[in-house]
Amino acid sequence: MEAGKIGTIIVKDQSRLGRDHLETDAMMELVFPQYDVRFIAVNDGVDTINGLNEMSGIRNYFNDFYAADTSKKIRAVQKAKGERGEPVGTTVPYGYLKNPEYKGNQKEAPWLIIDPQTAPIVKRIFEMYASGIGIRRICATFEEEKITAPGVYLFHLTGTKASHPNLSQPYRWTITTVRRMLSNQFYCGDTVNFKTYSKSNKLKKRLKNESTKVLIFKDTHEPIVDRMLFETVQKHFVGRKRPDKMGEMDKFAGYLYCGDCGKRMYLHRGKTISPEKNMFQCGGYQTGKHNCTVHNIRESVIDQIVLENLRKVTSFARSEPEKFYEIAMQKGKSESDKIARRAIQEKASVEERIKKIDGIIRCLYEDRVVGRITPERYDEMVAGYEEELAEQKKKLIELNNDLTLYSKQQQAIKDFIAKAKEYVEMPKLTAELLHAFIDRVDVYEKPTKYSRTEGNPVMIYYKYQLTPQENAKIMVGEGFPTHEELESSEESNIPIPA
């Protein structure tokens, strides 16, 4: 039209030109006359050769209102589905296939089933990254092995080009693709809803949602990777993500923290620095945003501390598993019992409130149907109750997780003992050993600042103390006796965290 190649535009009705009344009005009243374009809307009886119809602006407004109202209804349906734990997205992650038996109810049949051809590749990606191999090297390895890229695989499977497959380079894996896979919680069996949102039906850009509004439903389908492996990979993302020129990651990335300010510690190395002088420093000190000290500690020193302590703890777990289990459970049990009792009490009140809110919404709907309240008033009142309902359901999920905390701790200790029997030889500290046994390592400042004779106090937290989120409920370090308790007990030969 701007090039003068179009003289007439014919549509069925004005809504086919556009539903945004501001833009559509501007097109009809300003743009078309500017380029001498004749506009015809057949069903609405509009022909600009006879001048604009006085009803055109009103029609545009109602077309806009209809689109907004439809969007509102669809959003309400999607929100209800998402709060029930049903998937609201349409994209099937690489490694899965849509379940033909899924009929909209996750309890009857999961919506995803494992793809036997691609699931082993996904698991291998997680294992490679957890072992210290960087994303760039993973992509290069798959390209050398001629493993078909996800977008090309999907095109061959379904014929869709939604992921923009590069058919001229079918084995080219991109860093972005692998990075998204490594952060996708679907792979450990969870459904995650409302990760993104759009502000309105007119703004198509997807925005990242607040963490408090994201709903996570665990164990809704068969996982490809176990939860511990997934959480280990997320730890790496918390730390420095850049591999060195050899393509290797810092093995302590996501594990090493400043014990005083809680910030991550970063590895300092360079071409002119010998590997023996590589050192970690507090990230809070480096940025200058926190009143913290440098916390210098050599990489070789922290390697030695962690490795020696790990050897002692795993040796004790192998030689006396029953005693190890008893000590590890001793303090965690009392704390988890308190949490379980509180969860039982709160769960009853939350379930009762959910039932009341459901009843209130049904009553409001009946009042709207019979005309006791207006549709606008109904929408206003229901919005508040729907928001509260979502919060109560999320709280119910958290309480159910709290009730299983004690059994999770039991299983975590048993897994730790089993892995201790598996890893007998430990010649050096590797990312694999950290992944298997360590949850977190805190480094404190020397008792005498800048001392050349004193070392940095180090606290090691092991995997049998559950995940970081659960450790926040059962105090970190409470799964094993402290130095003071050990010195005052007869079990003086029991190794403890450094």
Strand partners, 38: 8
Mean pLDDT of the chain: 80
Q: Is residue 46 part of a domain?
A: yes
Same domain, yes or no: 442 and 464: yes
Residue type, 300: S
Same domain, yes or no: 335 and 465: no
Q: Tens digits of per-residue pLDDT, 200-218? A: 888 878 888 887 888 888 8
Among the three residues 81, 113, 138, which one is the final residue of a domain in this structure? 81
At residue 8 the predicted structure's pLDDT band, cuts being 50, 70 and 90, is: very high
Q: Is residue 245 part of a domain?
A: no
Same domain, yes or no: 220 and 121: yes
Same domain, yes or no: 358 and 285: no
Q: Tens digits of per-residue pLDDT, 174-200? A: 988 999 999 898 899 888 888 888 888
- pLDDT at res. 484: 38
Same domain, yes or no: 419 and 327: no
The CATH number of the domain holding residue 219 is 3.90.1750.20
- pLDDT at res. 496: 40
Q: Is residue 462 part of a domain?
A: yes
Among the three residues 81, 113, 130, which one is the final residue of a domain in this structure? 81
Q: Is residue 492 part of a domain?
A: no
Could you tell me which residue, 227 or 248, shows the higher pLDDT?
Answer: 227
Residue 201: exposed, middle, or buried by beta-carbon count in 10 A (0-12, 13-18, 19+)?
Answer: middle
Question: What tokens does 65 get?
Answer: 């209102």
Same domain, yes or no: 313 and 451: yes
Average pLDDT score over residue span 5-30: 91
- pLDDT at res. 402: 63
Q: Is residue 116 part of a domain?
A: yes
**Cβ atoms of residues 192 and 215 within 8 Å:** yes
Q: Is residue 477 part of a domain?
A: yes
- pLDDT at res. 351: 83
Same domain, yes or no: 174 and 109: yes
Domain of residue 425: give its range. 256-317+415-487
Say yes or no to pLDDT of 89 above 80: no
Q: Is residue 243 part of a domain?
A: no
Q: Tens digits of per-residue pLDDT, 406-436? A: 667 777 788 888 888 888 888 888 877 887 8
**Cβ atoms of residues 354 and 389 within 8 Å:** yes
Strand order in the sheet with 438-443: 256-258, 438-443, 458-462
Mean pLDDT lowest among 87-96, 326-335, 408-417: 326-335
At residue 335 the predicted structure's pLDDT band, cuts being 50, 70 and 90, is: low
Mapped onto helix, strand or coil, the DSSP state of residue 33 is helix
Same domain, yes or no: 103 and 194: yes
Q: How many domains does the chain have?
A: 4
Same domain, yes or no: 288 and 426: yes
User: Crossing angle of helices 405-422/375-403, nearest 10°?
Assistant: 50
Among the three residues 37, 52, 81, which one is the final residue of a domain in this structure? 81
Average pLDDT score over residue span 44-52: 86
- pLDDT at res. 488: 39
Same domain, yes or no: 265 and 234: no
Same domain, yes or no: 260 and 391: no
Cα 163 to Cα 302: distance, rounded to the nearest angstrom: 44
Longest Cα–Cα distance of the chain, Å, equals 103
Q: Is residue 250 part of a domain?
A: no
Same domain, yes or no: 292 and 430: yes
